Structure formats: C-alpha cells, structure tokens
C-alpha cells in the first residue's frame, strides 16, 4: 500500500466514501477516470476491518453463501460451498434443491452470498415457488420459508 493519505491521487478520478454495515469510510475508494479502468474502483485496504488476497487456485470449493437461522446475520450458520469452479462468474450456477436434507428447511432468516453469486431462495423444493434474492439481513415474507437455494 502506498504510504500517505489515500485521497491524494496522482491521476484523475473521483474519491469515494464506502458505506456498509453501518459504517462510513470517507475517501476509502477511488474511481479512476482512465477508460482502461472503467467500472473499476481502487480500494484503500487500510480502511476495511478485514481484508484478504489469496491465490484463486486455492478456492477449488468456492464459498457461495452463509445462511443464518436468525435475522441480522445472527444465530446458527450454514456455510455453502460449490463442488468445483470459482463461483458464479461467467454464468455458472450451483443448486441446493432440498435443503431440508441438511436440516435447514424453513429455518433461514438472513443470508449472505459470495463469489459473484446471487442467492436465490425458493419457497418450495426443486427450486420452485416464490423466490427471494438475498444477501439480506431479513427475508420478509420468506422468513423461515426457504426450501431450496440456487446460487447464480
């Protein structure tokens, strides 16, 4: 990390504040104006409270999601991995069609998705019925109703 103030940049762009998890990190990101870096943001890795970089090849079982029995990411957790690949990039999807087999049917109240995935929570098995796309701290009418999850 370049020492010094992160909002002092030597190229054109916009200094950004990151807001997440009830926290606000002023000037923790930077959006360069250069067209080769369009849609990218540069991060001040001194700002988040946890960060990691590791070889992609290590992730032979990509982390797909963490399911929580209670809202606001509390209670017992169930961590879901894919059997192969690196996640949901390039249209890859992963299905858990009957989560009652794992003792998690109709118990999920909040969830997080990772590895480029959206966690689509289905009310009924075989990925049918109503759906709720969730990285979310509460699941509304789908609280304790999930029977299948598709990460895509």
Closest distance to other proteins from the beta carbon of 86 (Å): 6
Contact 62, 87 (CB under 8 A): yes
Closest distance to other proteins from the beta carbon of 18 (Å): 5
x-or-dash string of contact with other proteins, 118-147, rule CB under 8 A: -----------------x------------
Closest distance to other proteins from the beta carbon of 84 (Å): 14
For residue 142, give both structure tokens.
């789908």
Our CB check for other proteins shows the closer of 51 and 83 to be 51
Q: Considering only 5-13, 96-104, 126-134, 142-150, which stretch makes contact with other proteins by CB under 8 A?
A: 5-13
Q: Which residues touch 68 (CB under 8 Å, ≥6 apart)?
A: 74, 75, 76, 77, 108, 109, 110, 111
Closest distance to other proteins from the beta carbon of 74 (Å): 11
For residue 14, give both structure tokens.
């916009």
Tell whether residue 10 is a contact of other proteins (CB under 8 A): yes
What are the Cα distances from residue 105, in Å, to 8, 70, 109?
Answer: 50, 14, 11
- Please tell me the distance from the alpha carbon of residue 15 to that of residue 38, in angstroms, as a whole number: 14
x-or-dash string of contact with other proteins, 26-65, rule CB under 8 A: xxxxxxx-x-xx-xxxxxxxxxxxxxxxxxxxxx---x--
Q: Which residues touch 85 (CB under 8 Å, ≥6 apart)?
A: 62, 92
- Residues forming beta bridges with residue 120, ordered by sequence position: 133, 150
Binding site for other proteins (CB under 8 A): 1-2, 4-5, 7-11, 14-32, 34, 36-37, 39-59, 63, 73, 86-87, 89, 112, 114-116, 135
């Amino acid at each position: 990390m370049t020492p010094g103030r992160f909002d002092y940049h030597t190229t054109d762009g916009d200094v950004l504040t990151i807001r997440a998890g009830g926290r606000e990190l002023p000037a923790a990101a930077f959006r360069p104006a250069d067209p080769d870096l369009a849609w990218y943001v540069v991060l001040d890795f001194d700002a988040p409270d946890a960060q990691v970089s590791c070889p992609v090849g290590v992730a032979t079982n990509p982390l797909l999601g963490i399911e929580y029995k209670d809202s606001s990411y509390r209670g017992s957790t169930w961590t879901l991995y894919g059997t192969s690949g690196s996640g949901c990039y390039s249209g890859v999807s992963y299905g858990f069609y009957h989560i009652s087999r794992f003792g998690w049917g109709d118990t999920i109240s909040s969830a997080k998705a990772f590895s480029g995935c959206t966690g689509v929570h289905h009310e009924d098995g075989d990925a049918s019925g109503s759906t709720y796309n969730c990285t979310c701290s509460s699941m509304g009418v789908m609280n304790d109703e999930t029977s299948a999850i598709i990460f895509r």
